A = this chain, B = another copy of it.
């Protein structure tokens, strides 16, 4: 590894001068064009990169940001992977290391938080589920001087900037899509309230009356079995429907399986949409139309916001627009 010292010695100038020229921060002083050129040339030649440890130590920073991730959207959604990829991209571009922790249960999360003071990070990114128990520990971290940015579906506190996909918009998009396709009676699997709102708004805007019988309630449950249960209930109750807006790809796949068991064809008899645009979409018996939450983009943005906060800037929460990906199921 080349250091400032190496360059300074080879050129017979002082370390400080090399530092100033390379960083471009000349302070009150200047440098002759000749030395400038020589230093920059040497820098390139030796492929010099400042040692982040030196920089951070001097600046009183840690050269690392913490990332706490709760695997969200269920296994196989690919959300976590996309999110991480986005985060990693931004952090790499800014020469920041990361301190990565996957937490499964909230208990683990709280435990991690209690170690804040010893965690040696410049900032903290928390991604996952917006549990109320998380608010206090996170605020405590903020107060201790470590800026936090969250990536959760509902902002935890006005004090903590958050990034997320527009949740209501997700179901709004897919419901509008099914209406466009000619569906008149669209069923819905209700797990998050915001998504129910998006579904209802789409109906309202198209003058379709809301029918409570078409909504299956299963708060906070997004698994395959819940899609199966929803379809089973509708069929048992004799509810007629020609579309299903599910709140996850897992639910949608479960619904498709159950429809198939009753020889109901997708998309001919019933059109189905999911949420997450996960890899499951292509592993579905009928490729699944789904709404992408754009987690990679969320990760990139959240990391950028956090780095800004580390620098002392103020940032505001951001909302990302979801995208509809149409496949054979609709």
Q: Which residues of A are at the interface with B, using a C-beta cutoff of 8 A?
A: 1, 47, 49, 51-54, 56-57, 62-64, 71, 74-78, 80-81, 84-85, 88-89, 91-92, 97-102, 117-118, 120, 223-224, 250, 253-254, 257, 260, 278-280, 282-283, 285
Contact = CB atoms under 8 A, between A and B. Distances in A.
Contacts of A250: 283
A62 B57 CA distance: 12
A174 B283 CA distance: 21
A253 B47 contact: no
Contacts of A62: 51-53
Q: How many copies does the complex hold?
A: 2
A184 to B, nearest CB: 28
Contacts of A89: 102
Contacts of A85: 102
Contact of A118 (B47, B84, B100, B279): B47
Contact of A283 (B52, B76, B84, B92): B76
Contacts of A120: 1, 49, 51-52
Contacts of A63: 53, 97
Contacts of A118: 47, 49
Given A51-B120, A97-B97, A97-B99, 12 more contacts: A1-B120, A51-B62, A53-B62, A74-B279, A76-B76, A76-B279, A76-B280, A76-B283, A85-B102, A98-B99, A260-B285, A279-B280
A5 to B, nearest CB: 13
